[in-house]
Structure formats: C-alpha cells, structure tokens
Amino acid sequence: MSQQQVMEFLKAHPKEWYCSKQIAQHIGASMSAISKNLQGIRKVKNNSFVYFEEYEPWRYKYKLKPTAIELVELREKRGLKNE
C-alpha cells in the first residue's frame, strides 16, 4: 500500500470527502496502512494535492485539491476574471 494508491483513489473521486476507513474499504487495504499514508500526506508542509480537515478530535476527512488548470476553467465557466 503506497501514498500513490491513495492519491489515485482520490483522483478517481475528486468531489467527495472520504475518511480513512472509507478509503481503506474502497482500496481493499488495511486501516493501519491507509492511516500511515494519510498521516504522511498531512505532515507535508506545502501539500498542494489533498485537502484535509479535522471533523472530530483525531478524525480527518480527505479530498483532492483541484489543479490550477481546473481552477482557471471553473472561474471562466462562472464568468469570473482570471488574475
């Protein structure tokens, strides 16, 4: 089980929030492996790939961040000026 597999899962489901238990069930990996990989993702200082938020003490939800290109396209779609 690697962080890459977690990232691939989040890329396949970009609009949903998932807790580690849900990610483990979808990937078919152990909770400990998923938790360790997600902990590594949280500890990266300039994490530009994954949003995470604590929804209960010591419980996090994860979601893939949109890329810069996706953000520009979304702003154009909404008729907003790109800066």
How many Cα atoms are found within 13 Å in the side-chain-facing hemisphere of 7? 12
- Classify 79 as helix, strand or coil: coil
Over the stretch 8-67, which tens digit does the pLDDT of each residue have?
Answer: 888 888 888 898 899 999 999 999 999 888 888 787 766 667 777 777 777 788 887 777
The token pair that represents 43 in the structure block:
């500890």
3: which residues sit within 8 A by CB, 6+ positions away?
A: 37, 40, 41
Q: Please enumerate in sequence order all residues whose Cβ is within 8 A of that of 46, keeping only pairs 6 or more positions apart, or say none.
A: none
Answer yes or no: is pLDDT of 71 > 80: no
pTM of the model: 0.67
**pLDDT of 82 strictly over 80:** no
Res 81 pLDDT > 70: no
| Angle ∠(34,66,79) on CA atoms, nearest 5 | 160
Task: Give me the CATH topology for the region 3-77.
Answer: Arc Repressor Mutant, subunit A (1.10.10)
CA distance 77 to 54: 31
